[in-house]
Each structure stands twice: as structure tokens, then as C-alpha cells.
Chains A and B, each alone.
Chain A
Amino acid sequence: MFSEDQIERYSRHIILKEVGGKGQRKLLDGSVLIIGAGGLGSPAALYLAAAGVGTVGIADADVVAVSNLQRQVIHHTPDLGKPKVESAREKMEAINPDVKVVTYKSWVRADNIAGIIEGYDFVIDGTDNFAAKFLINDACVLAGKPYSHGGILHFIGQTMTVLPGESPCYRCIFPNPPPPGAIPTCAQAGVLGVLPGTIGTIQATEAIKFLLGVGKLLTGRLLMYDAEGMDFYASPIARNRRCPICGENPTITALHDEEGAMNACDLG
């Protein structure tokens, strides 16, 4: 049952035939983990909290730095020096007291990620480096956990939703991380501050659609966004039978850290 406040708060959802009271209940009963409280994680966390996703987990070991504020909109100037997960928690709780926020002040690693993602319905990758992106893919595929991949650099963003065992995973496309030094970092190349707002919001949209069980997820398509040319293109992607983790003869059967997959986007 909903309280009077909840009926009012979620009225614009409840009136949607695709959501309704039942859908809002699914959101309130749902749980989403956001890994990375940076550019992508900020809009995702804000919108999931506003939408009334009942449990939002957020993982990040970092503290808020002044160079973050150009794009990491969940963190404000008075938050400088504060752990990002605490800053994020305060904003999410302020937006919506219905939301239970669970914080993990830690980087994800091969030895802790399985325990962190366990129990969540959906995972959002908002991390800033290839080591974490490959680890999140591996952990979610091995656990059968649906997740959203996201990446940003310069004026370019990309995202794809992965339903393990059903749709292509990140390693289906990229079996291994890029060679060290092949891809410039955000600190080197820069990133348009508004760019993660677009990609992180798409990731939150996918999480909400997944919880609701409505619509068509961004599976089997890698969506690429060029903010400079204002162009969206979704590359159709098939599962890769040679995929090292979800292919016919997987070579990755346990989690490992991708040593040498350098920080792609020193977002601090």
C-alpha cells in the first residue's frame, strides 16, 4: 500500500499505464547498485532516488575534488573532501526519504565485487577505468546479473545493457582491455561536463525499465553518442561465440583484476 505522500509523490508515474501502482511498487521493492559515484553515477543516482527505487547501493572509494564538480552533479562545492558515497547518500536521501541508500566506500576488486553486487537486481557501471569495466562485466556475467555498461570521453559516450546468457556482454565486443596508453585519459583528452548526464541518465532509464519489466532494453546494441555532431547510433552487436567469458569455450571462469588496464579517465 502507498501512503498519501507516496501517491502524491509518484502520481506522474502511477498515471502512466506502463507503470501504474504495480510498477511503482516494483520500483520501491527494487534494488540497483551504482559502481562509481562520478560523472555517470551522479545522474543515475539522482534519478533512481527520485523515481523511488527502494534500495540504491553506491560504491566508490574516492573523495570529492574540485575538478569533479564540472560534471559530477550529485556533489556540490560544500562537499569538497567528503567521501563521494556520503555526499551521494545525502543528496539521494534529501530527494526521497523512501530510498534506502547503501554505501560501499571501496574500489571494486576481484576479491570483493561478488559480495557487493550480490542481492541487487541491476548494476550500473559508472566507473572511470577499463580494469573496473572488465571486472564489472565479468562479475555480472558470472553471477547472471543484468547490468548497464557506460563510458564517456571527450564529446563521446557509449552504453549497452547486458543480460548475461541472453545478450552480448562487454567482452563479446572487446575480449581484452586496450593496450596501455592506446586510449587517452579524460585528464588528457578532457570530457564535456554535460556528456555523462546524457549517458548516466540512459543507464538509469535502463535500470528502471528492467525493474518495471517494460519496453525494449538496450541489449544487442552498443549505443554511441557524439555530442559534438549531436548524433546517436546504435551498432547492432551479436553474441560472440569466441567470447572469453560467455562464449562456447570460456577461458575466464573466475574473477581476476586486469592488471595494467590503466585509469582511463582520472575523474578523482
Chain B
Amino acid sequence: MIPGSSRFRGFFCFGDIRQSVRRMEDVMEITVNGERKTVGSASILGLLRELDIDPGRVAVELNMEILPKSNYETTGLNDGDRIEIVHFVGGG
């Protein structure tokens, strides 16, 4: 799946995510692959989990800076962050 694609946009329709976001007092509005999203995760790793994305299959760019995988857990999210999530696609 491509984050940002129509398929990706469906992720936030999942009932359990919507409920967990509603319960969070500290929700943030960020942009993921050009789409504005309201999320409850505190870190990049948490965001990937919220989106059901395997960190081993993607690269993540936060505000135009590619993040080392080792920083996914320690990198926090802030309101207004712009995130790009891109997948490995190796076929030809």
C-alpha cells in the first residue's frame, strides 16, 4: 500500500483507532503523505504502529529529513509535522 493513497486514507476509518484517538487529550494534527491527519501517537514508531505499517518495510521523512530507523522510537511528533512514509518496492 502507498501511504497517502486512497488505500492509505482508509486507515483512519478503523473504529479502534478512532476511539483511541478520541480518548487521547493530546491529539495532534499532522500531514502524512500530503494528507492532514489527527493522530494520538507520541512517536514515529507509535505512528507507524497506529497505521499498521511494518517499520522494516518503509523509510520515514520528518519535515524533509529522512530519519534513521534507530530514531523512530525516540523521535516525538509535534503538531503540524509533515511526514512522508515511503515503502520499499523492489520488483521490476
A contact set with B: CB distance below 8 Å: 36, 38-41, 125-130, 133, 150-153, 156-158, 172-175, 178-179, 182-183, 185-186, 191, 196, 222, 224-226, 228-231, 233, 235-238, 240, 242, 264-265, 267
Q: Is A265 within 8 A of B54, CB to CB?
A: no
Check B2 for interface membership: any CB of A closer than 8 A.
yes
Interface footprint category on B? 20 to 34
- 1/0 contact string of B54-90 vs chain A (CB within 8 Å): 1011010100111010000000000000001011111
Chain A residues whose C-beta falls within 8 Å of the C-beta of B54 in the assembled complex: 182
CB distance from A223 to the nearest CB of B (A): 10
User: Which stretch (B3-11, B22-30, B42-50) binds chain A?
Assistant: B3-11
Q: Give which listed residue, B7, B88, B91, B92, contacts A174 with CB less than 8 A.
A: B88
Name 8 extra pairs, CB < 8 A, besides A240-B66, A264-B90: A156-B1, A173-B59, A174-B88, A186-B91, A224-B87, A235-B61, A237-B61, A238-B61
Chain B residues whose C-beta falls within 8 Å of the C-beta of A153 in the assembled complex: 89-91
Chain A residues whose C-beta falls within 8 Å of the C-beta of B66 in the assembled complex: 172-173, 237-238, 240, 242
Residue from B2, B61, B64 having most chain A Cβ neighbours under 10 A: B2
